[in-house]
């Protein structure tokens, strides 16, 4: 937490600014996610204390909306397109293989903080279907067997 | 004059106060609308849709939240209504762990009742994927089994609104929605105070107490001298488990049943309550006259004590240092009683029957021990005792009335009323009055501290001393009271807090009363009547008049509040982190 001291200071200010408005919890959580990149346990505790609500309320909201991240995103964010064209061309199998190789469910981040795996809607590159991106790099015409090689490249 | 609304339900004219719900109006007309998530005064959120009715609107409406209006025509029994209710229950059942036969709530389950009443068959139209949850049994008080949860949120409402604890809530959404603690923490690692109000709110078997029957059975089979004691509130509710009307005191039958179960001695926690009053009353008088921390707050309720330690640790110096009555009695059993009857205290086991689940945690507190032995070895809830009686095949209703065993079995009316909110306060006042004024208290009732108002206040005349007192029950009410003391808005010398709404008579270990019955009967008031009735019938109604207690002090403890009493009967508290073990 010490390296985050400044961020928690920022969060404190946000809470101070919003705490008297009705329904402050959601906007505070959104701003917190902007500050920290996620709403981790420590962040949720600080929000609960600051707003005088229970941790279980904060956690309930955090898990209800998929846009809230409970863990910080990995160094590399892998997004697999599940748009119609990619899906028809087998992107689900690509996604499954990624999940298997990284040993995490979709939406989660690996223990070492290297990879976050997520599914996305159409990326607008249907000509390359099935498509995935790793941060800003695009990979097209994928088959599941391409996956170990791509992951290995980023692990190096 | 209240504004009355006229409406028609199934052709019956009903007149109810404005602001009533359709469910309340139907109840008045003796029309039964089934419910599941509804629990009067606790949870009224229209979530489960079991209570849907036709109010002439485009869609069916939930009767538990739909307000009445003038001229409204309600139909509770159309084919569409029946189909909708049945579908709702079938959907719930499609993800329900249907192990009714071995469920803690078998034959006392609101979901079973619905299935019977709605004519649910074996078809399981919505069979498909199921959720699988680990059972959380790490807490010494409460066991949660989400495989049986129907997501009604009654437990969540009890935990948040009644108790202001809020360690469980609905997480995620859609099919994977569940009632959980943050980060799936076991309850044991949260700020749960163990009160068990979630258990008595649950319509099904998703919540129950941590089992102690197996451990007690083992003690009874083994070589130890097993002594049992029963809390005041147990006798006010145990009969309900055997078809005896609510509000009937079953003290004599209970003592008889315990003997038939094989306990070697049957003592009364009411004796411990009288003992508590002498110690606690003396502590109060000392704090008043010698300048101790005020207001002094009672410490009999272990859920309240843990709540104070966890959420208001700045009030720890205000807590009375007295152990709770059953812990005091446990300590006395393993010292005075052991000596008097020449039994090695190591060969004695003390079992407490309590209306409470938090007592299971309390009994394990390291502070509550003497000479390396816990004061109390096992705690059974009232429900668990009823189960043991059934398992033993004892016909409770026809048992003779028997007495408690001597030396630690006598009690006064003051000890009996401990089980109702305001009871400890009243009992303490009956003692403090005589100590402070030196006069005999003629009229022993203090009606101003009785009743079910969330926070009760009174100014009590103790001769020249005016004592400002307050009583709170349910920790949400206690929090409001503490906040007003902390801010300096209120000033009291003595406060009673009971963790559970209504006090111990409606504790988390008491017989579970179904939502439908709770709609028509005030359970706390009914059970309290049994205790106040027993108090009235007692020849001795002040703790200081307990003869066996006088002997205990004379033969063993010495002075009230003296050195030996302090060593055996008083304790300490620890500040606890709300998010203990949370990383």
The answer to whether residues B307 and B478 touch, using CB atoms and an 8 Å cutoff, is yes
Q: How far is CA B233 from CA B122, B265, B353, B484, B555, in A?
A: 42, 20, 10, 30, 29
On whether residue A111 sits in a domain, the answer given is yes
Q: Compute and round to an integer the Cα radius of gyration of chain B.
A: 25
Q: For residues B26 and B19, give the distance between their C-alpha atoms in angstroms, rounded to a whole number.
A: 14
Same domain membership, residue A120 and residue A149: yes
What's the mean pLDDT in B368-374? 90
Q: Burial of B520 by CB count in 10 Å (0-12 exposed, 13-18 middle, 19+ buried)?
A: exposed
What is the residue range of A138's domain?
Answer: 76-155
Same domain membership, residue B322 and residue B197: no
Residue B581 has pLDDT above 60, yes or no: no
What's the mean pLDDT in A133-141? 94
Same domain membership, residue B329 and residue B453: yes
Residues of A in contact with B161 (CB under 8 A): none
Residue with tokens 């307050």: B470
Q: Phi first, then psi: what are they for B17, rounded to 5°?
A: -60, 145
Distance from CA of A63 to the nearest CA of B (A): 5
What's the mean pLDDT in B18-39? 97
The answer to whether residues B422 and B355 touch, using CB atoms and an 8 Å cutoff, is no
For testing the chain A interface, which of B167, B182, B189, B310 should be mutated: the one with the most A CBs within 10 Å? B182
Same domain membership, residue A131 and residue A88: yes
Please state the domain count of chain A. Answer: 2
CATH at B26 = 3.10.20.740
CATH at A100 = 3.40.30.10
Same domain membership, residue A35 and residue A81: no
Same domain membership, residue B189 and residue B224: no
On whether residue B574 sits in a domain, the answer given is no
Residue B182 and residue A44: Cβ atoms within 8 Å?
Answer: yes
Same domain membership, residue A88 and residue A149: yes
Q: What pLDDT does B357 receive? A: 98
From A41, A64, A87, give the residue that closes a domain.
Answer: A64
On whether residue A43 sits in a domain, the answer given is yes
On whether residue A71 sits in a domain, the answer given is no
On whether residue B27 sits in a domain, the answer given is yes
Q: How many helices (H) and strands (E) in chain A?
A: 7, 4
Residue B160 and residue A54: Cβ atoms within 8 Å?
Answer: yes
ipTM score for this prediction:
0.88
Q: How far is CA B163 from CA B33, B420, B582, in A?
A: 29, 17, 21
Please state the domain count of chain B. Answer: 3
Same domain membership, residue B201 and residue B217: no
On whether residue B130 sits in a domain, the answer given is no
Q: Is B167 on the interface with A (CB under 8 A)?
A: yes
Q: For residues A140 and A94, give the distance between their C-alpha atoms in angstroms, rounded to a whole number.
A: 11
- Number of residues written out for chain A: 156
Helix axes B382-391, B251-260, angle to 10 degrees: 50
Distance from CA of A31 to the nearest CA of B (A): 21
On whether residue A113 sits in a domain, the answer given is yes
Please report the beta strands in chain A, taking only residues with DSSP state E, as ranges in sequence order: 76-81, 115-120, 132-134, 137-139
Mean pLDDT of chain B: 95
Q: Compute and round to an integer the Cα radius of gyration of chain A.
A: 18
What is the residue range of B187's domain?
Answer: 142-209
Q: What pLDDT does A2 receive? A: 47
CATH at B179 = 3.30.70.20
Same domain membership, residue B251 and residue B188: no
Tokens linked to A40: 């981790």
On whether residue B133 sits in a domain, the answer given is no
- With cut-offs at 50, 70 and 90, classify the pLDDT of residue B578: confident
Same domain membership, residue A84 and residue A149: yes
Cβ neighbours, 10 Å, residue A155: 10
Same domain membership, residue B156 and residue B217: no
| pLDDT tens, residue by residue, B322-332 | 999 999 999 99
The answer to whether residues B172 and A64 touch, using CB atoms and an 8 Å cutoff, is yes
Same domain membership, residue B320 and residue B233: yes
Q: What pLDDT does B371 receive? A: 86
Q: What pLDDT does B512 receive? A: 98
Contacts of residue B188, defined as CB under 8 A and 6 or more positions apart, other chains included, come to B138, B139, B140
Same domain membership, residue A145 and residue A124: yes
Q: How far is CA B352 from the centre of its chain?
A: 15
The answer to whether residues B334 and B373 touch, using CB atoms and an 8 Å cutoff, is yes
Residue B169 and residue A45: Cβ atoms within 8 Å?
Answer: no
Nearest CA in chain B to A44: B182
Q: What pLDDT does A1 receive? A: 47
Contacts of residue B547, defined as CB under 8 A and 6 or more positions apart, other chains included, come to B410, B540
Same domain membership, residue B339 and residue B278: yes
Same domain membership, residue B358 and residue B397: yes
Residue A54 and residue B183: Cβ atoms within 8 Å?
Answer: no
Q: For residues A132 and A141, give the distance between their C-alpha atoms in angstroms, rounded to a whole number.
A: 9
Same domain membership, residue A84 and residue A39: no
Residue A54 and residue B171: Cβ atoms within 8 Å?
Answer: no
| pLDDT tens, residue by residue, A1-13 | 446 889 999 999 9
Residue with tokens 């809830």: B381
Task: Report the C-alpha dihedral over residues A92, A98, A100, A104, rounded to 10 degrees.
Answer: -110
Cβ neighbours, 10 Å, residue A79: 19
On whether residue A145 sits in a domain, the answer given is yes
Nearest CA in chain B to A55: B182
Q: Phi first, then psi: what are they for B472, rounded to 5°?
A: -130, 145
Q: Is B443 on the interface with A (CB under 8 A)?
A: no
Same domain membership, residue A114 and residue A50: no
What's the mean pLDDT in A43-70? 93
The answer to whether residues B573 and B309 touch, using CB atoms and an 8 Å cutoff, is yes
Mean pLDDT of chain A: 92
CATH at B261 = 3.40.50.1780
- Number of residues written out for chain B: 583
On whether residue B563 sits in a domain, the answer given is yes
Same domain membership, residue A80 and residue A148: yes
Same domain membership, residue A142 and residue A119: yes
Pairing of strands B142-144, B72-74: unpaired
On whether residue B134 sits in a domain, the answer given is no
Residue A59 and residue B160: Cβ atoms within 8 Å?
Answer: no
Residue A63 and residue B168: Cβ atoms within 8 Å?
Answer: no
Q: Is A63 on the interface with B (CB under 8 A)?
A: yes
Same domain membership, residue A116 and residue A144: yes
Greatest Cα pair distance in chain B = 78
Q: Is B166 on the interface with A (CB under 8 A)?
A: yes
Residue B217 has pLDDT above 90, yes or no: yes
From B28, B61, B77, give the residue that closes a domain.
Answer: B77
Same domain membership, residue A12 and residue A47: yes
Residues of B in contact with A58 (CB under 8 A): 182
The answer to whether residues B179 and B170 touch, using CB atoms and an 8 Å cutoff, is yes
- With cut-offs at 50, 70 and 90, classify the pLDDT of residue B125: confident
Q: What pLDDT does B248 receive? A: 96
Q: What pLDDT does A105 receive? A: 92
Distance from CA of B206 to the nearest CA of A (A): 19
Q: Is A44 on the interface with B (CB under 8 A)?
A: yes
Q: For residues B30 and B28, give the distance between their C-alpha atoms in angstroms, rounded to a whole number.
A: 5
Residue B1 has pLDDT above 60, yes or no: no
| pLDDT tens, residue by residue, B445-469 | 999 999 999 999 999 998 888 999 9
From A64, A99, A117, give the residue that closes a domain.
Answer: A64
Contacts of residue B166, defined as CB under 8 A and 6 or more positions apart, other chains included, come to A54, A55, A56, A57, B159, B160
Residues of B in contact with A63 (CB under 8 A): 171-173
* Omega of the bond leading into A50 within 30 degrees of 0 (cis): no
On whether residue A106 sits in a domain, the answer given is yes
Nearest CA in chain B to A70: B183
- With cut-offs at 50, 70 and 90, classify the pLDDT of residue B185: very high
Q: What pLDDT does B580 receive? A: 61
Q: Burial of A3 by CB count in 10 Å (0-12 exposed, 13-18 middle, 19+ buried)?
A: exposed
Q: Is B175 on the interface with A (CB under 8 A)?
A: no
On whether residue B536 sits in a domain, the answer given is yes
Same domain membership, residue B274 and residue B183: no
On whether residue A69 sits in a domain, the answer given is no
The answer to whether residues B234 and B385 touch, using CB atoms and an 8 Å cutoff, is yes
Residue with tokens 């790099």: A137
Residue B168 and residue A64: Cβ atoms within 8 Å?
Answer: no
Residue B291 has pLDDT above 60, yes or no: yes
Residue B304 has pLDDT above 90, yes or no: yes
Q: For residues B374 and B6, give the distance between their C-alpha atoms in angstroms, rounded to a whole number.
A: 62
Same domain membership, residue B357 and residue B217: yes
From B209, B238, B268, give the residue that closes a domain.
Answer: B209
On whether residue B546 sits in a domain, the answer given is yes
Cβ neighbours, 10 Å, residue B553: 16
Q: For residues B149 and B170, give the distance between their C-alpha atoms in angstroms, rounded to a whole number.
A: 11
Q: Is A60 on the interface with B (CB under 8 A)?
A: yes
From B61, B77, B93, give the residue that closes a domain.
Answer: B77
Same domain membership, residue B239 and residue B225: yes
| pLDDT tens, residue by residue, B407-428 | 888 889 998 999 999 999 999 9
- pLDDT > 90 in chain A, percent: 82
Residue B166 and residue A64: Cβ atoms within 8 Å?
Answer: no
């Amino acid at each position: 937490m010490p390296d985050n001291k400044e961020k928690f200071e920022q969060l404190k200010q946000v809470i101070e600014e919003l705490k008297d408005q009705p329904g402050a919890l959601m906007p505070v959580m959104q701003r917190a996610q902007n500050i920290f990149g996620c709403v981790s346990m420590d962040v949720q505790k600080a929000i609960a204390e600051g707003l005088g609500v229970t941790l279980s309320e904060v956690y309930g909201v955090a898990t209800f909306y998929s846009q809230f991240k409970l863990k910080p995103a990995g160094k590399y964010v892998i997004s697999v397109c599940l748009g119609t064209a990619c899906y028809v061309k087998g992107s689900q199998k690509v996604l499954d293989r990624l999940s298997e190789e990284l040993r995490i469910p979709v939406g989660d981040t690996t223990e070492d903080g290297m990879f976050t795996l997520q599914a996305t809607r159409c990326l607008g590159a249907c000509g390359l279907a099935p498509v995935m991106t790793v941060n800003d790099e695009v990979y097209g015409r994928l088959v599941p067997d391409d996956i170990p090689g791509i992951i290995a490249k980023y692990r190096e | 004059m209240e504004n009355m609304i006229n409406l028609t339900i199934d052709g019956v004219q009903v007149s109810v106060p404005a602001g009533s719900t359709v469910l309340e109006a139907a109840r008045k007309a003796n029309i039964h609308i089934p419910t599941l998530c509804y629990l009067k005064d606790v949870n009224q959120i229209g979530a489960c849709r079991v209570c849907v009715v036709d109010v002439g609107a485009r869609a069916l409406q939930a009767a538990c939240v739909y307000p009445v209006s003038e001229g409204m025509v309600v139909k509770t029994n159309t084919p569409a209504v029946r189909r909708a209710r049945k579908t709702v229950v079938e959907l719930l059942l499609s993800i329900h762990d249907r192990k009714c036969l071995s469920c803690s709530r078998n034959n006392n389950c609101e979901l079973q009742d619905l299935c019977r009443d709605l004519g649910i068959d074996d078809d399981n139209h919505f069979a498909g994927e199921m959720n699988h949850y680990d059972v959380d049994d790490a807490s010494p008080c409460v066991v949660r089994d989400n495989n049986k949860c129907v997501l009604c949120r009654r437990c969540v409402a009890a935990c948040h609104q009644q108790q202001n604890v809020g360690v469980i809530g609905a997480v995620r959404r859609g099919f994977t929605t569940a009632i959980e603690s943050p980060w799936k923490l076991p309850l044991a690692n949260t700020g749960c105070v163990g009160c068990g109000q979630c258990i008595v709110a649950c319509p099904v078997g998703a919540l129950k107490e941590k089992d102690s029957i197996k451990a007690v059975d083992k003690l009874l089979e083994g070589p130890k001298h097993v002594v049992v004691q029963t809390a005041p509130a147990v006798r006010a509710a145990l009969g309900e488990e055997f078809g005896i009307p609510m509000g009937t005191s079953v003290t004599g039958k209970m003592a008889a049943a315990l003997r038939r179960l094989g306990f070697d001695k049957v003592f009364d926690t009411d004796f411990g309550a009288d003992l508590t009053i002498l110690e606690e009353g003396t502590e109060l008088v000392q704090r008043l006259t010698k300048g101790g921390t005020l207001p002094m707050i009672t410490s009999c309720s272990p859920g309240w004590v843990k709540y104070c330690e966890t959420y208001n640790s700045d009030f720890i110096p205000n807590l009375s240092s007295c152990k709770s009555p059953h812990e005091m009695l446990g300590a006395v059993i393993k010292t005075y009683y052991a000596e008097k009857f020449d039994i090695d205290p190591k060969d004695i086991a003390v079992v407490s029957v309590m209306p409470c689940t938090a007592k299971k945690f309390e009994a394990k507190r390291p502070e509550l021990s003497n000479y390396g032995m816990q004061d109390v070895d096992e705690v059974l809830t009232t429900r668990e005792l009823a189960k043991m009686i059934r398992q033993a095949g004892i016909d409770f209703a026809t048992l003779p009335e028997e007495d408690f065993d001597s030396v630690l079995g006598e009690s006064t009316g003051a000890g009996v009323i401990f089980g109702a909110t305001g009871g400890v306060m009243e009992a303490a006042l009956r003692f403090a009055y005589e100590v402070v004024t030196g006069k005999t208290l003629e009229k022993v009732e203090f009606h101003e501290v009785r009743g079910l108002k969330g926070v009760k206040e009174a100014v009590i005349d103790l001769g020249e001393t005016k004592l400002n007192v307050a009583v709170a029950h349910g920790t949400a009410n206690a929090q409001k009271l503490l906040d007003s003391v902390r801010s300096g808005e209120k000033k009291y010398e003595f406060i009673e807090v009971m963790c559970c709404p209504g006090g111990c008579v409606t504790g988390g270990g008491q017989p579970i009363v179904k939502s439908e019955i709770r709609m028509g009967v005030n359970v706390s008031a009914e059970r309290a009547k049994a205790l106040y009735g027993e108090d009235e019938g007692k020849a001795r109604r002040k703790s200081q008049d307990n003869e066996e207690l006088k002997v205990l002090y004379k033969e063993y403890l010495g002075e009230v509040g003296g050195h030996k009493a302090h060593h055996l009967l008083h304790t300490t508290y620890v500040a606890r982190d709300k998010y203990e073990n949370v990383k």
